[in-house]
């Protein structure tokens, strides 16, 4: 399995990825991912923000090597997941990727954890990877301390409070020392204080372990506290919040929301902007000296949205 080459090499890349929904909604028809394109650099901490059904879980499952795309290209740490064998994907999950599925709510409250086991859930990935008893015990103890589990490891997963369950799941996902950590709605079901504590824990893990982290969430406040938000909607990555610093020009730090182009060069215009300009099903597109302009097909009436003609 190829490793990431340099700090400028993306840790993961998706280009025009399609995934069938296949979850029973709409009779199983439609796509969970529809031409999604995304690139994440090593060491980034990226929140994927979007409503339920936007495609966030489908994307994480693809990156974890659990689901194969119907079309498109996916590369994680130098491995092409669209061309990888089943054994390559198993090695990816055992060596490169740690995945924390959504834990609370039906059908399975404990997600990928075995409900009857306590801290043995942390050791299980190590045993599957063939790590010896002494090394496994040391790793488990180190993770218990790192994640502040305290006495919780002696409690079966099914009896843990939500915050303890999330920490145990993260410890299990980190047991094999992955480079990429994927989390699906880890703050769901937690109190505001517990979400704050979780965010601080993830920031510390991200920095100390030098992880690349993707966190799927519907919580806009949580996502914006992390920064670098990628908005996912209708199976596509549509916009990204980018922080830019220009202290030399006295501008300080500012945040811009940039539209993301998919693999075929398509861009989704935010609904609020379309409404202000009265852009419906069709629009005029013109190539200017240094930009592309998008105009309504017809000028709206004087009583409608603001209109300024060049």
Residues 6+ apart with CB under 8 A from 87: none
- Number of independent structural domains in the chain: 2
Q: Which domain holds residue 119?
A: 12-241
pLDDT surpasses 50 at 24: no
Number of Cβ within a 10 Å radius of residue 107: 4
Structure confidence at residue 168 (pLDDT): 92
Q: Are strands 97-100 and 292-296 parallel, antiparallel or unpaired?
A: unpaired
Q: Quick check: is 131 in a domain?
A: yes
Residues 47 and 153 in one domain: yes
Are residues 151 and 108 part of one domain? yes
* Contact indicator for 174, 140 with CB cutoff of 8 Å: no
- How far is the C-alpha of 199 from the C-alpha of 192, rounded, in Å? 11
* Any domain includes 145: yes
Q: Select from 241, 257, 289 the last residue of a domain.
A: 241
CB 109 within 8 Å of CB 158:
yes
**What pLDDT is recorded for position 186?**
93
Mean pLDDT of 143-154: 82
Residue 275 scores a pLDDT above 80:
no
How far is Cα 214 from Cα 186, in angstroms, rounded to an integer? 11
- Eight-state DSSP code of residue 87: H
**For 24, which DSSP code?**
S
- Do both 273 and 237 map to the same domain? no
Q: Indicate whether 67 and 27 sit together in one domain.
A: yes
Q: Are residues 75 and 191 in the same domain?
A: yes
Domain boundary at 241, 259, 288, which? Answer: 241
The structure tokens 């999604």 sit at 36
Confidence category of residue 268, pLDDT binned at 50, 70, 90: low
Residues 230 and 277 both lie in one domain: no
In a domain, 80, yes or no: yes
Same domain, 95 and 168: yes
Q: What is the pLDDT of the chain when averaged over all its residues?
A: 80
Flag whether pLDDT at 147 surpasses 60: yes
- pLDDT of amino acid 236: 84
Same domain for 23 and 99?
yes
Residue 264 falls inside a structural domain: no
Place of tokens 């982290």: 213
Domain CATH for 101: 3.40.50.300
Q: Between 131 and 304, whose confidence is greater?
A: 131
In a domain? residue 248? no
134 DSSP β-pair partners: none
- Do 274 and 147 lie in a common domain? no
Does residue 16 lie in a domain region? yes
Residues 216 and 274 both lie in one domain = no
Q: To 5 degrees, how large is the angle CA 25–CA 30–CA 33? A: 105
| pLDDT for 6 beyond 50 | no
What's the CA gap between 201 and 181, in Å, rounded?
13
Cα 160 to Cα 57, 154, 184, 196, 304: the distances in Å are 24, 10, 19, 19, 56
pLDDT tier for residue 20 given thresholds of 50, 70 and 90: confident
3 in any annotated domain = no
- 204 and 78 belong to one structural domain: yes
- Report d(CA 202, CA 223) in Å as an integer: 13
Domain end among 202, 224, 241: 241
Residue 2 confidence (pLDDT): 34
- The C-alpha atoms of residue 187 and residue 216 are separated, in whole angstroms, by 10
Do 302 and 223 belong together in one domain?
Answer: no
Look at the alpha carbons of 202, 213, 265, 4 in this order and tell me if their dihedral is positive or negative: positive
Residues 149-188 pLDDT 10s: 876 667 888 888 889 999 999 999 999 999 999 999 999 8
Q: Give mean pLDDT, residues 24-44.
A: 76
CA 180 centroid distance within chain: 11
Question: pLDDT tens, 61-117?
Answer: 999 999 999 999 999 999 999 999 999 999 999 889 999 998 865 444 666 788 888
Helices (H), the chain: 56-63, 86-95, 120-128, 133-146, 162-174, 192-208, 220-226, 271-277
In terms of pLDDT, which residue wins out, 304 or 206?
A: 206
Looking at the domain assignment, is residue 260 inside a domain?
Answer: no
**β-strands 212-217, 180-184: how paired?**
parallel
């Amino acid at each position: 399995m190829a490793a990431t080459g340099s700090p400028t090499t993306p840790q993961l890349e998706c280009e025009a990825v399609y995934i069938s929904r296949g979850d029973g909604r709409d009779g199983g028809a439609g796509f969970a991912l529809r031409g999604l394109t995304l690139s994440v650099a090593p060491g980034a901490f990226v929140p994927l923000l979007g409503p339920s059904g936007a495609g966030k879980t489908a994307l994480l499952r693809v990156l974890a090597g659990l689901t194969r795309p119907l079309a498109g290209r996916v590369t994680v740490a130098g491995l092409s997941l669209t061309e990888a064998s089943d054994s390559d994907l198993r090695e990816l999950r055992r060596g490169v990727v740690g995945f924390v599925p959504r834990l609370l709510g039906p059908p399975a409250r404990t997600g990928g954890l075995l409900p009857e086991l306590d801290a043995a859930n942390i050791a299980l990935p190590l045993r599957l990877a063939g790590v010896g008893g002494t090394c496994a015990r040391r790793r488990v103890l180190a993770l218990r301390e790192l994640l502040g589990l305290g006495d919780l490891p002696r409690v079966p997963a099914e009896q843990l409070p939500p915050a303890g369950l999330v920490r145990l799941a993260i410890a299990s996902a980190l047991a094999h020392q992955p480079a990429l950590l994927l989390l699906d709605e880890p703050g769901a079901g937690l109190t505001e204080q517990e979400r704050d504590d979780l965010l601080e824990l993830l920031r510390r893990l991200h920095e100390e372990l030098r992880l690349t982290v993707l966190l799927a969430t519907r919580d806009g406040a949580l996502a914006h506290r992390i920064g670098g938000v990628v908005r996912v909607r209708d199976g596509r990555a549509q916009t990204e919040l980018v922080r830019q610093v220009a202290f030399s020009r006295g501008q300080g730090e500012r945040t811009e929301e940039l539209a993301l182009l998919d693999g075929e060069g398509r861009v989704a215009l935010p609904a609020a902007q379309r409404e202000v300009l009265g852009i419906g099903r069709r629009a005029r597109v013109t190539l200017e000296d240094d930009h592309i302009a998008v105009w309504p097909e017809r000028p709206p009436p004087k009583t409608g949205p603001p209109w300024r003609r060049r």
